[in-house]
Structure 1
Amino acid sequence: MKFTKDHEWVSLDGDVATVGITSYAAEQLGDVVFVETPDVGKTVKAGDGFAVVESVKAASDVYAPVSGEVVEANETLSGAPETVNAEPTGAGWFAKVRVADPAELDGLMDEAAYKAYLDTL
């Protein structure tokens, strides 16, 4: 699993990356009340907003950690947005993206680097 400074995580399985937000992000948001996932077939670019998460505190964009095509969206979140709080790095994933350039993952943090980054916040 790799992480961004915007608190997204990405897990690669072959050439498909599963993307979600970290436990830290879910805690900062508070109770999630709405999730908008990207449309299947949408082309995303690393760093661009591709999903939206709203909580009782704020609405935030979720940024694509990698470029590629959305091949699956987690439709269950529309009816159960609290899953993002309950299982942010599990069942609370947002989308699966077929990665266009696997080298983009090299620019992301591993778990140890992400934990060190959190200590600076």
Structure 2
Amino acid sequence: MEFSADVKYARNHEWIKQDGSEYIVGVSDFAQDELGDIVFVELPEVGEHFAAGKAFGVVESVKTASDVYLPVAGTVTAVNEALRDNPELINESPFDKGWIIKIQIDDAAELEALMDVSAYKQMVDA
């Protein structure tokens, strides 16, 4: 199981990390492993705004479909178009090629409520 120390984690297993003035959002290695082989990703539209904790998309696997939630409030600035044809990138590279969206966050203070890698490891090991 891979854990990235340079991201913040949400309780629903999403991660977020800063990339210049934007933030990248994806699902953790733990989440993709639990989902199994991912076969489809429903992506939001660029320009859509979501409140913290609201579903912005869906990841479907051979086992189930799961909503993906935004860890902090923000506006979508980009979507990972590669996931449309290759949703399995989330399985193969959840912290790199399998990112889902980029956002402009509303309030950086919201990041403080998220978990660092050690807190996230404790949660998934519990």
Q: TM-score range by the shorter chain?
A: over 0.9
Which residue of 50, 61, 66 maps to 1:60?
Answer: 66
Equivalent position of 1:32 in the other structure: 38
SS in 2 for 1:19: strand
Report the CA distance between 1:36 and its aligned residue: 0.9
Task: Indicate the percent of aligned positions where both proteins have the same amino acid.
Answer: 48
Structure 1 runs, 4 residues or longer, greater than 3 Å off: none
1:11 equivalent in alignment to 2:17: yes
Residue 100 of structure 1 pairs with residue 106 of structure 2: yes
User: TM-score of the superposition, structure 2-length normalised?
Assistant: 0.93
Query: TM-score, normalised to structure 1's length?
Result: 0.97
The 1-side partners of 2:72 and 2:44 are apart by 14
Q: What amino acid sits opposite 2:99 in the alignment?
A: W
Query: Whole-Å Cα distance in 1 between the matches of residues 43 and 110 of structure 2?
Result: 22
Alignment partner, residue 21 of structure 1: 27
Q: Name the count of aligned residue pairs.
A: 120
Show structure 2 runs of 5+ residues with no match: 1-6
Matched, 1:87 2:75: no
> Is 1:71 aligned to 2:71, yes or no?
no
Structure 1 stretches lacking a partner, 5+ long: none
